[in-house]
């Protein structure tokens, strides 16, 4: 942990770093490939919509010795081929969801299941969910998502600038697309818990993005008044300066979510936890990735298209070319040698934030008038 802390401090000071901005085309290509895969999975397999959205019946049985897989087969047979999802509850009870059932069909299915499971009909609790209710829930979810996106763009445009707001919006869409695509590929059921998970991950994704943007905003103040760094280099330093913090917060957030997904949903068989935990797990990982590899490089690309930043890049390039030419003319100035232009060394030292040791001039007539200074 101490090594990680030392690495974070060195990244923050700019002593070491990775060129995230320079390799942005690689990250763009990876993101495009993942996004295309998610969209293909969504188009081919589609989403497994829960009963809350598709409509149907939910039957809760008392304690029974029938297994979940056997109960699923019995439920699909009793309903005439309708898709059934069975979850094991505490005390040996079963929760059976059968999509597409209406009121007339539910009663015969309830009686047939009671006979097959060998339980009294009156002890099976049946609830019907109409498709209109599920459609209303879906519309409210889309409305909430749209309002959230608009508020995010307005806030970031006011707090930072419109380029950062646009980059953050693209990163959010990127995270949502990947998460929804994973749901389609894995085949997990989409429930209201899934919608809650999707809305939650947007906040986590924005958190990492805003941290980097805040560092970039502070570092790029009056950037056109200097000739040491381009905007891309300042953006890259901002990513490196917040890299360890982003990794730490993401890992800490992923650990409990992984417990919900793999232990609660996988080992303990609490299937209802999968609805929200998968969305959180995939979304948190995608949000951390997009804040580092997508959002900030996009801001750098948008800013570098401005005339001021193009002019700054030319000045920085010209200054570095002149410095390289001077070093070629005076090789003794390299690697600790005396520079041909001492004023240049002082400027570079001051710009780097270092304080060079002062050399005191030799005192003339030192010791004159003192007993220890008499000549013999």
Q: How far is CA 126 from CA 61, 168, 220, in A?
A: 9, 45, 62
Same domain, yes or no, for 93 and 158? Answer: no
Whether 37 and 69 map to the same domain: the answer is no
pLDDT, average across residues 263-269: 57
Give the pLDDT confidence of 314-345 residue by residue, as tens digits.
Answer: 999 999 988 888 888 876 655 544 444 434 44
Q: What does the block give as tokens for 368?
A: 């004159």
Q: Are residues 245 and 177 in the same domain?
A: yes
Q: Which of 129, 149, 171 is the last residue of a domain?
A: 129
* Last residue within a domain, chosen from 79, 106, 129: 129
- Write out pLDDT tens, residues 276-294: 788 888 888 888 899 889 9
Shared-domain flag, residues 287 and 212: yes
**pLDDT value, residue 14:** 55
Is residue 155 a part of any domain in this protein? yes
Provide the residue range defining the domain that includes 75.
56-129
- Shared-domain flag, residues 177 and 292: yes
In a domain, 313, yes or no: no
Report how many domains make up the chain: 2
Alpha-carbon span 89 to 93, nearest angstrom: 5
Does residue 367 belong to any structural domain of this protein?
Answer: no
What pLDDT score was predicted for residue 186?
Answer: 84
- Domain-embedded: residue 119: yes
Domain boundary among 282, 308, 334: 308
pLDDT one-digit tens code per residue, 236-254: 988 888 888 888 888 888 8
Q: Which residue has the tokens 């797990």?
A: 281
> What's the CATH number where 176 sits?
1.20.1640.10
- Whether 101 and 192 map to the same domain: the answer is no
pLDDT of 53 higher than 60? yes
Contact 87, 94 (CB under 8 A): yes
- The length of the chain, given as a count of residues: 376
For residue 345, tell me if it sits in a domain.
no
What pTM was computed for the model?
0.72
Q: Dihedral angle at the C-alpha atoms of 69, 74, 77, 78, nearest 10 degrees? A: -140
Are 33 and 175 members of one domain? yes
Please check whether residue 365 lies inside any domain of the structure: no
Do 153 and 239 lie in a common domain?
yes
């Amino acid at each position: 942990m101490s090594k990680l802390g030392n690495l974070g401090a060195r990244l923050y000071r700019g002593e070491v770093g990775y060129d995230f901005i320079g390799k942005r085309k690689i990250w763009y290509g990876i993101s495009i490939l993942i996004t295309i895969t998610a969209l293909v999975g969504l188009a081919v397999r589609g989403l497994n919509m829960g009963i809350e959205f598709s409509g149907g019946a939910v039957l809760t049985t008392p304690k029974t010795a029938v297994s979940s897989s056997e109960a699923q087969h019995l439920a699909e047979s009793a309903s005439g081929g309708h898709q059934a999802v069975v979850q094991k509850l505490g005390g040996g009870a079963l929760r059976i969801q059968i999509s597409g059932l209406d009121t007339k069909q539910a009663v015969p299915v309830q009686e047939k299941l009671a006979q097959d499971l060998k339980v009294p009909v009156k002890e099976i609790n049946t609830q019907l969910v109409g498709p209109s209710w599920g459609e209303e829930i879906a519309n409210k979810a889309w409305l909430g998502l749209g309002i959230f996106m608009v508020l995010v763009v307005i806030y970031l445009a006011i707090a930072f600038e419109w380029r950062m707001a646009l980059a953050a919006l693209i990163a959010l869409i990127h995270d949502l697309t990947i998460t929804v695509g994973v749901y389609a590929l894995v085949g997990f059921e989409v429930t209201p818990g899934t919608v809650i998970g999707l809305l939650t991950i947007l906040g986590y994704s924005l958190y990492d993005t805003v941290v980097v943007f805040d560092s970039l905003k502070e570092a790029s103040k009056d950037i056109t008044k200097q000739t040491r760094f381009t905007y891309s280099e300042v953006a890259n330093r901002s990513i490196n300066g917040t890299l360890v913090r982003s990794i730490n917060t993401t890992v800490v957030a992923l650990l409990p979510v992984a417990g919900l997904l793999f232990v609660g949903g996988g080992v303990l068989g609490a299937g209802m936890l999968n609805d929200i935990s998968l969305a959180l797990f995939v979304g948190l990982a995608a949000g951390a990735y997009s804040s580092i590899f997508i959002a900030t490089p996009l801001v750098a690309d948008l800013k570098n298209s401005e005339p001021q930043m193009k002019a700054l890049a030319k000045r920085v390039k010209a200054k570095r070319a002149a410095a390289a030419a001077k070093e070629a003319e005076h090789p003794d100035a390299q690697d600790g040698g005396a520079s041909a232009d001492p004023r240049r060394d002082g400027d570079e030292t001051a710009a780097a934030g270092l304080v060079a040791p002062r050399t005191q001039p030799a005192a003339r007539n030192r010791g004159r008038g003192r007993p220890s200074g008499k000549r013999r």
